Amino acid sequence: MESYVYEAIEHGERCPVNVFITSIEISRFHWHYDYELMLVLKGSVAVNTLPAPFVLKAGQIYLFNSTQVHELRKTEEDNICLFIQITSALFRGKSEGNRRFQFYLNSQSESNMPAIGYRPFIRQAAAIGLLSTSTNPNPNPYRLQSKLYGLLADLFEFGVYDIHQSAAGRDLQQDATTLLNIIDYIRENSQEETVLEQLYKHFGMSEKTVYRFLKDNIGLSARELLLECRLEKAKYLLQFTDKPISFVVDVSGVGGENTFYRVFKKSTGLTPLEYRKRGGPTSGRSEIKGYLQYSTSEAVMLLKKLCAEDNNDEMHQRTASCQHPAGQTDCESDDLGRKSLSDVGQPGLSGTL
C-alpha cells in the first residue's frame, strides 16, 4: 500500500505533520492512521471512497479521516496536489484513547459546509504548503505548527465532525496495532487458500469478530480485504515482471483462471493482458517523472494564488462570519488568515518567483 508518488518534506520531530506536493497518477485503495488533507492545485483528481466517488477540482479541499480507505486516480487533465498528513495523535487527548474523530471536510460537496465556509481551510492549507516547499530551504517549524494548529482550531470550532465513541477501557491504539497485524498477516499469506481460517486461529478471534472489527475500522470485510491484497499482488506481477499470466493467477490465490479474469476486469476495467500491455493502470508514467523537475515553481505560484484569492473573498467571509453566533472567534480566524497572507511574502519564497 506504499503507492504514493510523492515528494517528501522532512520537518524533523518538531512538527507532527508531513507535507508534500505531487501529481497523482494512481494511488490504489489504501488507508493510514494519519488524517490527510488534500488540496488540488491544478487539474482534477478522481477520489474513490465511501459513501460515493467524486472528482476534486483545482482549488478544492478534502480531508481523509484516519483509517478511511480511499483510492485516487488521475483524470483526463494533469494535476498537482498538496497533501498534508497529520498524525492522529493530535486529535486525541491523553484520556481519549477510546474515541475517533471523523470530519466532513469536502469543498466539492454542498452539505456539511463549515460555519465559516471552506475558504479559511483552503487558505491555511495553501499557507502550510508554501512553508513546506523545497523552495523554502529552512522552514520555521514553529510557523508551520502555528498554521497547522490554526487549521485544526477552525476544524474543531467550525467544521462538521462526529466522534465515534467506544466503551471506556477500550484502547483504539491497541486496536490499531491489531488492525495492522491482521492486514500484514493477510498480505503475507494471501496466496494461501485458507488464509482467513488460519488468521482466525492465529489471532484467536472469531470470524464474526474479525468481520466487525475490520468493517468498523476500514469499512472492508476480511474477504474484501483479502481480494484487494491478492489483486495488488497480481497487478504488481503483471506490471513489473514477465511471469506468465497463468503463474500470476496461481500465485495471486484469487481462484481459477475464469474467476481471476472476471474479478480482475471488474476491479480494473481491463483484462490482465491489457493491463500488462499498458504497463499499469494508465500510460502516463514518464510525465510524472518530468513533473518533479518543472512543477515546484508552478506549485508555489498556485499556492500563492490560492492565498491571494482571499483578498476578494475577505468581505464575503466577514459578512458570513458575522451571522455566526461565535462571531468574535470568526474574526480572530480571519485575522489569522490575513497574517498568513503576509507570511507568504517571506524573502526566502519571493526569491523563487
Partner 1 sequence: MTLEEKVYLMSGNQDFQELCDDCTLPGRHYNHLPYPAGGCQRLGVEDLRFCDGPRGVVCGTGKSTCFPVTMLRGATFDTALEREIGRAMAREVKASGGNLFAGVCINLPYHPGWGRSQETYGEESFHLGEMGSALMEGVQDEQVIACVKHFAFNQMEISRFQVDIDCDIRTEREVFLPHFKKCVDRGAACVMASYNCYQGDHCGENAYLLRRILKQEWGFDGFVISDFGWGISDTAKAANGGMDVEMPSTVLFGEHLLQAVRNGSVPESAIDEAALRVVRTLLTFAQDRPPARESVLGCKEHIRLALQAAREGITLLKNRDGVLPLNRRKIKKLVVLGALAEEQVIGDHGSSQVFPPYVVTPLQGIANAAPGVDVIYYSGENIGHAKDLARQADAVIFVVGYRCTDEGEFVSEDMSDLDGEYPGGDRTESLGLHPKDVRMIQEVGPLNPQSTVFLIGGNMILMEDWKDSVSAILMAYYPGMEGGTAMGEILFGDVNPSGKLPYVVPVRAEDLPPIQWRTTHQHYEYYHGYARLEKQGIAPSLPYGFGLSYTTFAYRNPVFRREGDSVVAECDLTNTGTRDGAEVSQLYVGFSHSAVDRPVKLLRGFTRTFLKAGETRHLEIRCPVEELQWFNPETRQMELEHMEYELYIGASSADRDLLWGSCVL
Per rule CB under 8 A, is residue 288 in the interface with partner 1? no
Among 216, 313, 314, 343, binds partner 1 (CB under 8 A): 216
Name the minimum Å distance from CB 68 to partner 1: 15
Among 13, 52, 94, 167, binds partner 1 (CB under 8 A): 167
Per rule CB under 8 A, is residue 206 in the interface with partner 1? no
Per rule CB under 8 A, is residue 286 in the interface with partner 1? no
Name the minimum Å distance from CB 297 to partner 1: 39
Question: With respect to partner 1, which residue has the nearer C-beta, 161 or 185?
Answer: 161
Name the minimum Å distance from CB 161 to partner 1: 8
Among 3, 87, 166, 178, binds partner 1 (CB under 8 A): 166
Name the minimum Å distance from CB 113 to partner 1: 8
Name the minimum Å distance from CB 213 to partner 1: 11
Question: With respect to partner 1, which residue has the nearer C-beta, 66 or 79?
Answer: 66
What is d(CA 241, CA 122) in angstroms, rounded to the nearest whole number? 42
Among 26, 46, 90, 115, binds partner 1 (CB under 8 A): 115
> Of residues 289-318, which lie at the interface with partner 1 (CB under 8 A)?
none
Choices 160-168, 183-191, 235-243, 290-298; region in contact with partner 1 by CB under 8 A: 160-168
Question: With respect to partner 1, which residue has the nearer C-beta, 170 or 318?
Answer: 170
Name the minimum Å distance from CB 278 to partner 1: 39
Among 212, 285, 289, 305, binds partner 1 (CB under 8 A): 212
What is d(CA 339, CA 318) in angstroms, rounded to the nearest whole number? 15
Per rule CB under 8 A, is residue 104 in the interface with partner 1? yes
Tell me if 289 sits within 8 A of 298, measured CB to CB.
no
Among 1, 5, 26, 113, binds partner 1 (CB under 8 A): 113
Compute CA 331 distance to the chain's CA centroid, rounded to the nearest angstrom: 30
Among 8, 55, 163, 308, binds partner 1 (CB under 8 A): 163
Scan for cell 494564488, then name that residue. Answer: 305
Choices 105-113, 228-236, 295-303, 345-353; region in contact with partner 1 by CB under 8 A: 105-113
Q: Which three cell numbers stand for residue 152?
A: 485544526
Per rule CB under 8 A, is residue 168 in the interface with partner 1? yes
DSSP collapsed to 3 states, the chain: CCCCCCCCECCHHHCCEEEEEECCCEEEEECCCCEEEEEEEECEEEEECCCCCEEEECCCEEEECCCCCEEEEECCCCCEEEEEEECHHHHCCCCCCCEEEEECCECCCCCCCCCCCCHHHHHHHHHHHHHHCCCCCCCCHHHHHHHHHHHHHHHHHHCCEEEEECCCCCCHHHHHHHHHHHHHHHHHCCCCCCHHHHHHHHHCCCHHHHHHHHHHHHCCCHHHHHHHHHHHHHHHHHHHCCCCHHHHHHHHCCCCHHHHHHHHHHHHCCCHHHHHHHCCCCCCHHHHHHHHHHHHHHHHHHHHHHHHCHHHHHHHHHHHHHHCCCHHHHHHHHHHHHHHHHHHCCHHHHCCC
Query: How many chain residues bind partner 1 (CB under 8 A)?
Result: 19
Residues at the site binding partner 1, with contacts judged by CB under 8 A: 98, 102, 104, 111-113, 115, 160-168, 170, 212, 216
